[in-house]
Amino acid sequence: MVDRGRRGFTTLGDQALLFAAAVRGAFQRPFYGAEFLEQCRFILFSCAVPLALTGLGWGTIVALEAGNFFKLASAEWRIGGFMVLANVREFAPVATGLMVAAVCGTAITADLGARKVRDELEAISVMGISNVLFIVVPRFLALALMTALYNIPMIIFTCFSGYLASVALVGVNSGAFISTFYTQGTLQDLYGGELKCVIFGMVIATVCCYKGITAKGGAEGVARAVHQSVVACFVSIQIIEYLYTPTVLALFHSNNVLR
């Protein structure tokens, strides 16, 4: 038990060092732009369908549960404002981070793990190419950028499906939904969600790259690394969410006021 705890703290420290190295590497040369664009293309096409399905399903569930609750209190006209608080501020960024981690993070871990067990990463180092600059930094920046960009369509899908479910299934007045939606929503919520997604993307890249480049034990070791990476990403996202939201609400008190 003590050894497992020691290994956990060692892994956390190594990942923190890799995170710092990736941040420094983003401002160093050479910058492998082709690899960065390839990673952006991969994330874009891999996550498009899962993002749409996740957003539509998540928004519908939130609207049904919250709408029926508000209806019991004869306050169903408030559901539009709640969708801003729930989706724009919380659910859309978290769903985006979880979806990117599950789809792209696991793929990155599997790719780097396969390269590791075939000694391709050592071959890159022998050629005088930095693994941090060539492997980690492009994925680090691509995941940070694309996770933030994917948050916008995720917000659209969750809010649109929430609107349809509220009006068609719960029986909320369409005008009341829209009026409270625009009254309660603020740019601080949108900017806060985007910043949160950037943090999610950087953490996902760090965890998945670390698990990939430290994989060992052949195919079984790669599979183990993929499993560990997705679990670590999910837990990290929840921890960040728990710390981030109270901090933002403490800094911007107006976000706690119903309008």
Q: Give the pLDDT confidence score for residue 51 in this predicted structure.
A: 87
HEC secondary structure over 108-122: HHHHHHHHHHCCHHH
| pLDDT at 69 exceeding the cut of 90 | no
Q: Could you tell me the residue range of the domain that residue 54 belongs to? A: 2-26+50-256
Q: Across residues 102-116, what is the average pLDDT?
A: 89
pLDDT band at 171; cut points 50, 70, 90:
confident
Are 104 and 49 a contacting pair, CB within 8 Å? no
Domain contains 134? yes
Q: Determine phi and psi for 217, rounding to 5 degrees.
A: 100, 25
On whether residue 186 sits in a domain, the answer given is yes
Among 177, 15, 150, residue whose Cα is nearest residue 84: 177
Q: Are 255 and 139 in contact (CB under 8 A)?
A: no
- Sign for the pseudo-dihedral over CA of 58, 154, 33, 206: negative
The reported pTM is: 0.89
One-letter amino acid of 117: V
Averaged over 103-110, what is the pLDDT?
91
Handedness of CA 198, 101, 83, 245 (dihedral sign): negative
Q: Give the model's pLDDT for residue 254.
A: 67
Residue in this structure with the two tokens 């009254």, named with its chain if needed? 183
Average pLDDT, the chain: 85
pLDDT at 101 over 80: yes
* 133-172 b/e (C-beta count within 10 Å ≥ 16 → b): bbbbbbbbbbbbbbbbbbbebbbebbbebbbebbbeebeb
At residue 203, the pLDDT reads 94
- Residue 177 in tokens: 């939904």
Note the pLDDT tens digit of each residue in 8-53: 778 888 888 888 888 898 888 888 888 899 999 999 888 888 888 8
Over range 108-135, report the average pLDDT.
83
Quick: pLDDT tens for 146-164. Answer: 999 999 999 889 888 888 8
Residue 176 burial class via C-beta count within 10 angstroms: exposed 0-12, middle 13-18, buried 19 and up: middle
pLDDT greater than 90 at residue 205: yes
Neighbours of 92 (CB within 10 A): 29
In a domain, 107, yes or no: yes
Tell me how far CA of residue 161 lies from CA of 43, 58, 76, 156, in angstroms.
Answer: 24, 8, 16, 8
Domain count, the chain: 1
The per-residue pLDDT for 235 is 92
3-state SS, one letter per residue, for 36-100: HHHHHHHHHHHHHHHHHHHHHHHHHHHHHHHHHHHHHCCCHHHHHHHHHHHHHHHHHHHHHHHHH
